[in-house]
Structure 1
């Protein structure tokens, strides 16, 4: 049962949580769901609303883990469930098969997107020096010598920073529940 305001003084903790979740994750969540629903904005807004409602009903699910991947997983499950429900009922109106196929995005694409966000959040936790060396060596595919020149540091420093940056990244990912 939702908590009510006491004598009209400010929002309740639940309202504040819901507003904070929507403020921080609403835009990216809506964009993600729009892609899953093939651009059906009304359906996407309903899915975002239901996702936030589930977060409000189960605040314990948000503690001890990154919030955005949980929200994206719930939203994806809602879209998939709605798609399956439509397929299991007799067709009332003509549906464009191409749109339906587009709405049922493969789990691999979704998992890749969630992993990308998780890695980006973990990278953001690293120091600027560690992040820079990983960007040069892994994302830009530069050799140690090229990264050394681009960053203006000795090659030995590039090697050691890469080693320690990878260790820090691994720890940050493990904190988010990503395991090898």
Structure 2
């Protein structure tokens, strides 16, 4: 398709002068001011691409312009882009990291802890989950510090075996 000539340019200027303001008001009533300006511009561009429209009688040109503008607004409202895009002033919530592996790990460790004897479990839980020192555990459990160290050693060894049985490798 070839570009319209100079005559079409002057006709388009005259059509814009005659109908531009009314066309803008018409479109703005169906949409917003910013979108209305875009629709009017697209409508006039289509008129420029079809110079035969510009030579029609005055009423016919006006009807063509308003019909094209209305169709552009309707097409935009029906488009997939418009249906899927929602504007909002609220920011979306921050994403939450996937913690499923942490939950599974905690479940495996908790299950392995159940296989320990009560004495070994008390020392392992006190040292690793409660952050107690050997002297604190010795005092709380009323056992010598060497016994705490021994139970911790053998308790961790039993934990490692229990976890290996569940498919966890070191």
Structures share fold, TM-score greater than 0.5: no
Larger Rg: 2
With the length of structure 2 as denominator, give the TM-score of the two structures: 0.45
Report the TM-score, using the length of structure 1 for normalisation: 0.42
